[in-house]
A = this chain, B = another copy of it.
């Protein structure tokens, strides 16, 4: 397989961790409901490709996200994967109960960086939503779970427009103080650009947040995800969220969230000599297989290029 020439950049980390979101954030945003057995095979294949953090599913109420209503059946089919973290989304105490009953060891909670999205997504004010998470995070910590906090709309919000970096930084600080082991900065509507990213990261450092506690989660809605990721790596971020094959982001769908494709990220990282332990060939084959399950091509440029070359 063709690979990019490796030219290392002294200012960048030598190793990063990919937080693979395809099985959860990806499938949640696809119109097709994938059978549980296919999801389990998908997660096994992601692990075989070398991914070590694979967000598996979501314990929200099945009515909210029918695509992931099979969480209770799915998790036992993957939980014995060795050396793989399998975080799941939990929205509240009830979700945490369900996750704990199945032996989950990593959870993620979902917060908003803006009042408007807190209202739209959670029907609460920002303060009310944080108050709701606090006991969930505390109990998860008591149970010695690893806790990730997702923060949505960190760059722009469809109602409020650009989101002030100070407001985002204070919320990240609050989530860390609450007990989150890491916070993922979500560019939910994909509007961020590299200077904005670097400005937010600089503000986080000023706010006393160590960037080892921060992940970045970019969407490719406007094609900016990889440039933003490069800017974040230059600033010292070492956790990057991505979705195998760009799942959840078909560019011709109105509902596209446009997740950064893990393969496009890997191509850049291989060129930069940044180790992830992931095999691009195995991952691409997995994404081609999953695209067949969904009956449409992968929106990842790298998957498209490599699979056409090989066919």
Choose, from A4-12, A24-32, A111-119, A139-147, the stretch at the interface.
A4-12
If the complex has contacts A223-B264, A252-B297, are A196 and B305 also in contact, measured as CB distance less than 8 A? no
Identical copies in the complex? 2
Within 8 A of B (CB), among A268-295: 268, 270-273
Decide: B195 and A267 in contact? CB cutoff 8 A: no
Within 8 A of B (CB), among A72-114: none
Q: Interface centre among A6, A230, A271, A297, by most B CB within 10 Å?
A: A271
A162 proximity list for chain B (CB < 8 A)? 4-5
Decide: B7 and A195 in contact? CB cutoff 8 A: yes
Decide: A222 and B305 in contact? CB cutoff 8 A: yes
CB distance from A295 to the nearest CB of B (A): 14
If the complex has contacts A193-B268, A194-B271, A227-B226, are A221 and B8 also in contact, measured as CB distance less than 8 A? no
Decide: A268 and B4 in contact? CB cutoff 8 A: no
A227 proximity list for chain B (CB < 8 A)? 226-227, 229-230, 268
| Number of A residues with CB within 8 Å of any CB on chain B | 53
CB distance from A12 to the nearest CB of B (A): 8
CB distance from A58 to the nearest CB of B (A): 25
A302 proximity list for chain B (CB < 8 A)? 222-223
CB distance from A119 to the nearest CB of B (A): 20
Q: A4-B224, A196-B271 are in contact. List 9 more A-B contacts (CB 8 A).
A: A2-B156, A2-B158, A5-B156, A6-B195, A190-B305, A195-B271, A195-B273, A222-B305, A223-B261
27 A-B Cβ contacts within 8 A?
A2-B156, A4-B156, A4-B162, A4-B191, A5-B155, A5-B161, A5-B193, A7-B193, A7-B199, A9-B194, A9-B198, A191-B271, A193-B268, A194-B230, A195-B272, A195-B273, A196-B271, A221-B301, A222-B264, A223-B300, A223-B302, A224-B267, A226-B227, A227-B229, A252-B297, A256-B304, A258-B305
| For the complex of A and B, 8 pairs with smallest distance between CB atoms | A193-B271, A5-B162, A223-B264, A223-B301, A7-B195, A9-B195, A7-B196, A227-B227
